[in-house]
Amino acid sequence: MGVVSLNQRLRVKPQSKNHARTLRTNLTLAEQRLWNALRSKQLHGHRFRRQHPIHPYIADFACIEKMLVIELDGGQHQERIQYDENRTAFMQTQGWQVLRFWNNDVSQNFDGVLAIINNALTITLRSSYEKNGARQKII
């Protein structure tokens, strides 16, 4: 087993691309609201992609430049905690910083969510809380 080149690591399977396209057309209300704030470099000039494949997973939102993934979790994620933890751990091994928010955080404290995202985009050092991919507590 040798070293994997960047091109091999970034290659996305066609079925993942198709699944990501499907997800883009079926955003939740929380995803739509956050996407409206992130799209077109509206957050301090940072470009985000939505439903971005990071094989074998698909991130809700990703800023490639900053290697930042944003995941929004609804009620169904309470039953999939181990899956989400594995997913976050995998993305981190690929060099991604992962922020997780509950959907109700987006609806009830949107400015707080944007502040945390902005903070993650502007600092280089990450707290162990963020490195572990824990859902962010909004104060």
Q: In angstroms, rounded to a whole number, what is the distance separating the alpha carbons of residues 136 and 100?
A: 6
Residue 3, pLDDT score: 46
Residue 125, pLDDT score: 42
Question: Helices then strands (H, E): number in the chain?
Answer: 7, 4
Domain count, the chain: 1
Q: In angstroms, rounded to a whole number, what is the distance separating the alpha carbons of residues 128 and 98?
A: 11
Domain with 117, as residue range(s), is 6-131
Q: Is position 138 within any domain?
A: no
Q: Is position 137 within any domain?
A: no
Looking at residue 62, which CATH number applies to its domain? Answer: 3.40.960.10
Q: Is position 1 within any domain?
A: no
Residue 27, pLDDT score: 83
Q: What is the pLDDT along the chain (139 residues), one digit of tens a residue?
A: 444 444 445 555 555 455 445 555 568 899 999 999 999 998 889 999 999 999 889 999 999 999 999 999 987 656 788 898 999 999 999 999 999 999 999 999 999 999 999 999 988 444 434 445 555 555 4
Total Cβ atoms within 10 A of residue 66: 16
Count Cβ atoms within 10 A of the Cβ of residue 81 and give its class: 0-12 exposed, 13-18 middle, 19 or more buried: exposed
Q: Is position 136 within any domain?
A: no
